[in-house]
Amino acid sequence: MLEDLLPARMVNEFVYCPRLFYLEWVEARFADNDDTRLGQQVHRKVDQASGAVPLPEDGPVTAARSITVSSPRLGVISKLDLLENDGNGAVVPVDYKKGKPQPDGSPWPSDEVQVCLQALALRDNGYSCTHAELYYAATRQRVRIELTGERVARVEDVVAGARRVAERDTAPLPLVDSPKCVRCSLVGLCLPDETNALLARRDQPPRRLVPRDPDQRPVYVTEPGSFVGVRSGRLEITRDKEKLASFRLIDVAQLAVFGRVQVSTQALQACFARQIPVLWLSTGGWLHGYALGQPPKYAELRRRQTAAHAQSRTGYAQSMIAGKILNARTLLRRNARGDVNVTVASLKRLAEQARSTSTFPTLLGIEGTAARLYFAAFPAMIAPAADHIAHTFSQLGRNRRPPPDPLNALLSFCYAMLTKDLVAITLGVGLDPYLGIYHRSRHGRPSLALDLAEEFRPLIADSVVISLLNNGEITSSDFLRRAGAVSLTANGRRTVLRAYERRLDTEIQHPLFGYRISYRRVMDLQARLLSGALVGEIPEYKPMITR
């Protein structure tokens, strides 16, 4: 079976950091930052193909840009920024770099390997090539690299080493306390300090996590009859040819459409090209489906997830349910307006039991008992001014299909938004949102997203509901009552979505890693920690438990 040709750029990444190489090449994960965008800007001219490149026997090369060459012998392929003639009948590949050389003027090892591979590929295609050059844009200087026998042997050994790493089932462990991690575009996906802290490979607390793109936010389209199109790199929402809103695609984290909303094929293709998930929901917020272009390429993670699902491993579920119960206990202790000490103490005992149980039926019973106690005390967290909304809930308790009172309607809608976000997050990590560990798989149910949602229900959804009612942002006029069922009005949904997004942007101090981080980023972090536990990179999954 023929192996995939390894891009020389990926070999550059391997020399820089084997884990970065694995994440980008094997798992096909990538994220932009200021450095990568600057690199794209530097390459904007050399990426435009120009000039003729005749075969060696057909005449000399003068100068050409953006040429692709490969070497089946080495198993590599590369795109040359610039190819020149040295005046003696030989060709010289020139690779453009945005930065500057090392302080002594020598090239960085990763850059040297990349341009040497370009030269060797040219040789294997019959061209005469004695040296290569690197152009560093920051200092506007060229660095010449001779193709000595020793250097060629070293480069070939590096390619063989990269192949061996690519064949592994799991990524290499991250670098420890490396300055490379601070500027790496994948630091928010790789989690070097977090992984090393969980493995006790470093003594210092983790450095602050760098978000992939703090400007990206979900776009919600709730207006019935709306149409989502794309124009000049922007998502445009219109209704009856009237523009309602416009968003730059680079600022969009996900597109969530509610009810009777149309999305054009062009808009879908633009979202797919940028790995922006598109989610379709009912008017009330129930998730109907999603689309995300090409599926993630990290098959090993999905294989491990399937094995964990089939083997019914209780360890993950124990952590998730214990985290949910403890977070519910904390929310109740902080917000209750009456004496809830008995309930708080009971929830603590139930969390301890959840951690120690070894069977799913017992865990289900513990979760059910904790939920009954928690929701029985839930109205104690609602201010007297909103008692008229919580009154019916006090009599009926938690009920969702359909919600019989306003408080249940609020909880159901916020839980639906939480599940929707975790579907998008699990897709981005490479997990299957429908293949659960605690929640059994069922047609149409995103079981893994529901698993991860457990610990966040009190922290995000319940907190939003309490805030909306206690601050008077939601009133009785924001609800519709039909045949015993209660739902939010269009204005009520918009109010809840604003409060929900505000909660996701709230920063807290992470109890495990010590840095400040938004709830939006915490959910992404937890999904990545779960994937690390599934592939065996970290020993166990630890839930997010607030203090």
Q: What's the CATH number where 274 sits?
A: 3.100.10.20
Do the annotations mark residue 439 as ligand-binding?
Answer: yes
pLDDT for residue 38: 52
Longest alpha-carbon distance in the chain: 92
| CB 84, CB 104: distance < 8 Å | no
Residue 461 lies in a domain: yes
pLDDT for residue 189: 77
**Residues 433, 422: Cα–Cα separation, whole Å:** 8
Secondary structure of 356-421 in the HEC alphabet? HCCCHHHHHHHHHHHHHHHHHHHHHHCCHHHHHHHHHHHHHCCCCCCCCCHHHHHHHHHHHHHHHH
Decide which of 151, 182, 210 is a domain's last residue. Answer: 210
Do the annotations mark residue 242 as ligand-binding?
Answer: no
pLDDT tens-digit map of 295-339: 766 677 888 888 888 776 678 889 999 999 999 999 999 998 888
Residue 143 backbone dihedrals phi, psi, to 5 degrees = -120, 125
Residue 23 backbone dihedrals phi, psi, to 5 degrees = -65, -40
Q: Are residues 236 and 284 in the same domain?
A: yes
Total domains, the chain: 4
Q: How many residues does the structure list for the chain?
A: 547
Q: Are residues 235 and 313 in the same domain?
A: no
Q: Are residues 194 and 146 in the same domain?
A: no
**Residues 378, 462: Cα–Cα separation, whole Å:** 9
Q: Are residues 466 and 377 in the same domain?
A: yes
Torsion sign (Cα): 394, 395, 398, 401: negative
Residue 438 belongs to a domain with what CATH number?
1.20.120.920
Q: What is the value of pTM for the model shown?
A: 0.79
Residue 544 lies in a domain: no
Do the annotations mark residue 454 as ligand-binding?
Answer: yes
Decide which of 237, 262, 291 is a domain's last residue. Answer: 291
Residue 308 lies in a domain: yes
Q: Are residues 121 and 187 in the same domain?
A: no
Q: Are residues 497 and 435 in the same domain?
A: yes
- Residue 160 contacts by C-beta under 8 Å, 6 or more apart in sequence? none
On the 0-12 / 13-18 / 19+ scale of CB atoms within 10 A, 240 is: exposed
Residue 409 lies in a domain: yes
Residue 347 lies in a domain: yes
pLDDT tens-digit map of 357-372: 878 889 999 999 999 9
Residue 395 lies in a domain: yes
Q: 10 Å Cβ neighbour count for 254?
A: 23
pLDDT for residue 316: 86
Q: What is the mean pLDDT of each run of 10 residues along the chain (547 residues)?
A: 77 92 81 51 57 78 87 92 87 90 92 94 92 92 93 94 89 86 80 82 62 70 93 92 91 91 94 90 86 76 82 81 94 89 94 88 92 91 82 68 85 94 89 86 83 94 94 89 86 94 91 86 91 87 88
User: What residue numbers bound the domain in which 505 lies?
Assistant: 299-534
Q: Are residues 102 and 237 in the same domain?
A: no
On the 0-12 / 13-18 / 19+ scale of CB atoms within 10 A, 493 is: buried
Residue 342 lies in a domain: yes
Q: Are residues 231 and 101 in the same domain?
A: no
Q: Are residues 408 and 462 in the same domain?
A: yes
Residue 425 lies in a domain: yes
Where are the alpha helices (H) located in 43-148, listed in sequence order?
A: 109-124
DSSP string, 93-120: EEEEESS---TTSPPPHHHHHHHHHHHH
